[in-house]
Amino acid sequence: MSAAEAVTEALRELHARFVPLREGSLAEYIPQLARSDPDAFGLALISMDGHCYGVGDTRAPFTLQSVSKPFVYALALSLLGLDEVCRWVNAEPSGEAYNAVSLEPDTGRPDNAMVNAGAIITTALIPDTPDAPRFDRVLGCLSRFAGRELDVDEQVYASEAATGDRNRALAYLIRSTGPLPVDPVAAVDTYFRQCAVRATAMDLAAMTATLAHGGVNPLTGDVVVSGPVAAQVLTVMATCGMYDASGDWLLRVGLPAKSGVSGGLIAAGPARFGLATYSPRLDSTGTSVRGRAALGALSERLGLHLMHNPALAGSTVTLIATADELPTAGAAPRARAPRERVAVVAAQGALDFTAAERVLYALDEARPRGTEPVVLDLVEVTGVDRVARVMLGGGLGRIAAAGARTAVADPSRWLDLPGPGGREGPGVPRGFATRARAVAWCTGDGPG
């Protein structure tokens, strides 16, 4: 058994545990959906590195239905921006069923893009031009999220088009109430087609992993949407993705999710994974019974709840010391008068706001008098985001401006500081390729 089998094993256990669950029934209002295999059951997970894990029916195609909604919402947000989309579709949980007439009384604006009324407008907002027809844009975007060309199940499309009077009625109602710049009635057919796009549980895991990965498909590297758009979509999935059961889902499972009446269910662990399940028997809210049970159990077992994400204390700062406490690699201890005490702080991993706060706090702890020279060692740091760069630059700048020599061992040049020979005057932090050089500069032994 390979080491990574452990992940598959966790999925396998869940699969075995919930296969006997035969409650619920197939969606019947789209007649063609009532013909799906009620016993199909697949679980798929894709990591941010594009590692794919699956058990059961992960390669069986089925139609996206409402699982398409967050991805088309992502397309609308990319093309029009959050403010413009929010003018026409709100982002509040409706607390109502997927096909409810949830329109604001005065404006006719639907509560959110995850219920049908909001999804129909969202689709209508996608531009429709001769060179790029609306549905081509939608299918192209869904395919990029999946990392392969998806297609339409024409029979399911025809079945819904023949019976979709409630959705048509919703579109007419929306048109009658609001000053919408687009025609929802004309777009409802595109909405039916987007619901009939065919994918597998593994495709859905890739699509969800792309949202979790800041909009970059972890299988293809394709930047499908921007990081902010991916975060906006995940937020609306978290608050509205499970219709009238969204609050309970967020409370118990704690992951942005979206269900569809064909039996697909997706859940994202932001910056961690994309998950998808397929099992067509639905509960009264239109969510897959096994999917809900399996994702709930998985979240609990693997500690995936968004709000249970304890930052690992102590994992950023690996060292707070003074230079004379540290071994000097390769050099015999030199007998000389005690030099000025140089504080040394080393950090590791990816630095964001939380990690940068730890580093700045450690810099203060390492300099009890507040006047000692200091070396910050970033050799083991693997990334510094924009916020951390500004925070570290500001904190180090303050130390240097107060007159203490301030050196950073930063071979990757995360902070882009001038070297020791730079033209900047004193009072500016300096960057070095190694900790030893940084310490030497602080003690006056090095160049500069």
- Using CB under 6 A as the criterion, which residues of the chain lie in contact with ligand GLU when the complex forms? 65-66, 98-99, 116, 160, 167, 195, 260-261, 286
CA 342 vs CA 52, 321, 339, 419, 440: distances in Å: 48, 8, 8, 18, 10
What is the closest distance, in whole angstroms, from the C-beta atom of residue 134 to ligand GLU in the complex? 17
- The Cα 237–Cα 25 span in angstroms is 24
Q: CB-wise, 108 or 260, nearer to ligand GLU?
A: 260
Residue 178 zone, left/alpha/beta (φ > 0; ψ -120 to 50; rest): beta
What is the secondary structure of 70-96 as a DSSP string? Answer: HHHHHHHHHHH-HHHHHHHS--S---S
User: By C-beta, is 98 or 145 nearer to ligand GLU?
Assistant: 98
| Helix ranges (DSSP H) in 286-327 | 289-302
If DSSP codes are grouped into helix, strand and coil, which group holds residue 103? strand
In the bound state with ligand GLU, the residue whose beta carbon lies nearer, of 99 and 406, is 99
Tell me the closest approach of the beta carbon of residue 174 to ligand GLU, in angstroms: 14
Work out the number of other CB atoms within 10 angstroms of the CB of residue 416. 10
How far apart, in whole angstroms, are the C-alpha atoms of residue 299 and residue 91?
Answer: 25
Residue 339's alpha-carbon distances to 21, 322, 367, 369, 374, in angstroms, are 72, 11, 15, 16, 13
Residue closer to ligand GLU (CB basis): 97 or 302: 97
Whether the CB-CB separation of 62 and 36 falls below 8 Å is answered with yes
How far apart are CB 378 and ligand GLU at their closest, in Å? 48
The distance of closest approach from Cβ of residue 58 to ligand GLU in the complex, given in angstroms and rounded to an integer, is 20
Cβ at position 162, least distance to ligand GLU in Å: 13
Comparison of 56 and 264: residue with beta carbon closer to ligand GLU: 264
> Quick one: 167 or 208, whose CB is closer to ligand GLU?
167
- Work out how close the CB of 50 gets to ligand GLU at its nearest, in angstroms, rounded to a whole number: 28
Residue 190 vs 406, nearer CB to ligand GLU: 190
Cβ at position 190, least distance to ligand GLU in Å: 12
CB atoms near residue 113 (< 10 Å): 32
Give the residue at shortest CB distance from ligand GLU: 66
